[in-house]
Amino acid sequence: MRPHKYGVSLFIEAPVDLLLAATELNEWAWQTARQVAETHAPGHPLAGDEGMAFETMRRMVSAEQHPDFRAFHAEMSAAHQPLLWDDERVTLGLGRFCRGVDWHRIDGHVLPVNAAESGDAVPVPVALVTGSNGKTTSVRLLSAMLRAQGYSTAHNCTDGLYLNGERLARGDYSGPQGAREVLRHPLTEAAVLETARGGMLRRGLAFTAVDVALVTNVSDDHFGEYGIDTLDELAETKLMVAKSLKPEGRLVLNADDPMLARYGATRWPHIDWFGFDGEHPLLRAAEVSVFVQDGDMILREGSRGRSRGRIDDMPLAVHGLARYNIANLMGAALVAWRLGVGADIVRHVLERFGRQHEDNPGRLQRYRIRGFDVLTDYAHNPDGLGKLLEVGRALNPNGRLALVLGQAGNRDNTEILALADVALAWKPDLIVLKDLQGYMRGRAFGEIPHLIREHLLDCGFDEKRLRQEQAEIDAVRACLDWANPGDILVLPVHAATAQPWLLRNRCSTRVASRTHPGHGVEPPPSRFGTAGSSVLPKGSRSAPATSMVSPGIALPSQASIATSPSAGRQVVTRAVHEPIG
């Protein structure tokens, strides 16, 4: 039992095959303790009638118990084998080596015979990404790097399920089911899993044989949900991803985040750190670290460092103004190195990812329309909004500033007003309030805009500079109609609605995050050599340089990319690995 600000949470343990029955027992015990008989569904234990409830639960346990699966799960988990299971299927192995059966067909022999032999025939590199901000951008970056290395790469995120950059399904798949879909896909050769806090707290971790886990940062958000009320508790939640790692797996953390710096070392023995200062004690003590030095991104292994490119040449960095994206770039580069992606490939992707809208839709998109600038991003919490406004003001320090402002209904009033306080700090000339349709989550239409409006007025904001629209698209339209040449519009909007509308209806020009001479032309070979400069290990495969690369990311011509299918490697053997120095 765990008390928290808004009540008490009750937890119980149960065998893996009886978890569903355990949830019924937990709910019945809770209702009985509260002496509340809520609406009763047939087939479920009834609070207030102990005899009938016990009989119902006994039948549920009898129907669900599965000693063969329980023993098999324990054996495979102890061996850190790639085992996945849900309400319908049990599978062993990943990608094309994934084999499985329905629950009712497990008899103690079928699954091991069919799957165990091939479960680790060719290791599938798996990375997991979580954090308050930057998850989806980091996942997309890592996927692009793995594709460029020659892997058929799948990833799940808040926008859907993807294979080699093509969307297979739309929706929020940042939970365990999305991870299982990605890992079971027959074409998956590498996987990147976005893992959101809510999914971990509701359903746990889907996979516990991850090679590398990245935590981008921890900031105030979602307080009051599932008993998480403080930043310390949120940090502990994010760091749960350490439990998903193989025994030799690596945890990659942001040393510039105070919460991660405080708690990280207590959660896992094998940590790689990234941050802006290479002299940070955590980076100095790390086996491998990434930092910025004299405008270069440096990956340091031991005492030897090597550049991964100029920050100014990386579109997501926005001329070095988007520090939060530079952190995302560093984290992705470090994870990619641990997964075996060659240095020149990492550098090439960093220098091209973000030039095309398709690379990172919904995240820090910049447009130029009729002489004014437009920035769009997800920016769903105070920290994210503040950083987006910082970039906007740095790009355009003198123009009038317009801002669209709203929030999902599952945030408490304190968090919503904190978002309004961030907006006030940047002294916008126009704020257009909106409902976040599809994310009302128990709130009435207009409730959140009204809450923000009253707070802004109480703080002295000029009512003439406030507007309110119910639909997000209408809020965007109001800003566009208001703007004059020289203004800057900062639009934290949802990628699935307003941003596509913006592209179709109002955008005459999309401004690349960095303009390069010869944009869209094959670049010269990297000064660090080509990916084919290493001797290919026995059994490696060689892929064309442009295979499975997302739009806008073309690899150096003549590059031969190799990956090793050999088993028994620590994390993932680098098929293209050169000493640093």
Q: Is the pLDDT of residue 289 over 50?
A: yes
Interval 169-207: pLDDT, tens: 998 899 999 999 999 999 999 999 999 888 888 888 999
Q: What is the pLDDT of residue 32?
A: 82
Q: Is the backbone of residue 560 left (phi > 0), alpha (psi -120 to 50) or beta?
A: beta
Domain assignment present for residue 576? The answer is no
Do 308 and 212 share a domain, yes or no?
yes
* Tokens, residue 250: 């690596």
- Which has more pLDDT, 513 or 11? 11
Q: What is the distance between the alpha carbons of residues 163 and 377, in angstroms, rounded to a whole number?
A: 23
Whichever domain contains 439, its CATH number is 3.90.190.20
Bridge partners (DSSP) of residue 367 are 374, 510
Whichever domain contains 538, its CATH number is 3.40.1190.10
Do 350 and 206 share a domain, yes or no?
yes
Q: Is the pLDDT of residue 225 over 90?
A: no
Do 349 and 381 share a domain, yes or no?
no
Do 59 and 10 share a domain, yes or no?
yes
Q: What is the distance between the alpha carbons of residues 144 and 149, in angstroms, rounded to a whole number?
A: 9
Query: Mean of the per-residue pLDDT values for the chain?
Result: 81
Domain assignment present for residue 121? The answer is no
Q: What is the pLDDT of residue 495?
A: 54
Q: Which residues of 70-89 are buried (b: 16+ CB within 10 A; e: fewer)?
A: eebbeebeeeebbbbbeeee
Answer whether 451's CB lies under 8 Å from 416's CB: yes
Do 347 and 486 share a domain, yes or no?
no
DSSP character string of 383-401: HHHHHHHHHHHHH-SSS-E
Answer whether 316's CB lies under 8 Å from 188's CB: no
Do 76 and 60 share a domain, yes or no?
no
Do 199 and 318 share a domain, yes or no?
yes
Q: What is the mean pLDDT of residues 9-31?
A: 86
* Tokens, residue 352: 């091209």
Q: What is the distance between the alpha carbons of residues 101 and 123, in angstroms, rounded to a whole number?
A: 21
| Residue 108 CB neighbours (<10 A) | 12
Interval 481-536: pLDDT, tens: 999 999 999 999 875 566 667 666 655 455 544 433 333 323 323 322 333 222 22
Q: What is the distance between the alpha carbons of residues 84 and 90, in angstroms, rounded to a whole number?
A: 6
Do 51 and 173 share a domain, yes or no?
no
Q: Is the pLDDT of residue 355 over 60?
A: yes
Split into its structural domains, the chain has a count of: 4
Angle at 389 between CA 386 and CA 394, to 5 degrees: 125
pTM above 0.95, yes or no: no
The phi, psi pair for 116, rounded to 5°, reads -60, -35
Do 91 and 205 share a domain, yes or no?
no
Confidence class of residue 571 from pLDDT cuts 50, 70 and 90? Answer: very low
Do 418 and 459 share a domain, yes or no?
yes
Q: What is the pLDDT of residue 48?
A: 65
Domain end position, chosen among 64, 81, 100: 64
Confidence class of residue 559 from pLDDT cuts 50, 70 and 90? Answer: very low
Answer whether 488's CB lies under 8 Å from 390's CB: no
The domain of 84 spans: 67-116
Q: What is the pLDDT of residue 503?
A: 65
- Which has more pLDDT, 201 or 431? 431
Interval 26-58: pLDDT, tens: 888 888 877 665 555 566 676 667 888 888 889
Q: What is the pLDDT of residue 241?
A: 95
Confidence class of residue 446 from pLDDT cuts 50, 70 and 90? Answer: confident
Q: Is the pLDDT of residue 210 over 80?
A: yes
Q: What is the pLDDT of residue 144?
A: 98
Domain end position, chosen among 466, 482, 510: 510
Domain assignment present for residue 574? The answer is no
Do 369 and 455 share a domain, yes or no?
yes
Q: What is the pLDDT of residue 529?
A: 30
Q: What is the pLDDT of residue 537?
A: 29
Q: What is the distance between the alpha carbons of residues 172 and 185, in angstroms, rounded to a whole number?
A: 18
Domain assignment present for residue 176? The answer is yes
- Which has more pLDDT, 145 or 537? 145
Q: What is the pLDDT of residue 119?
A: 43
Domain assignment present for residue 577? The answer is no
Do 154 and 177 share a domain, yes or no?
yes
- Which has more pLDDT, 162 or 132? 162
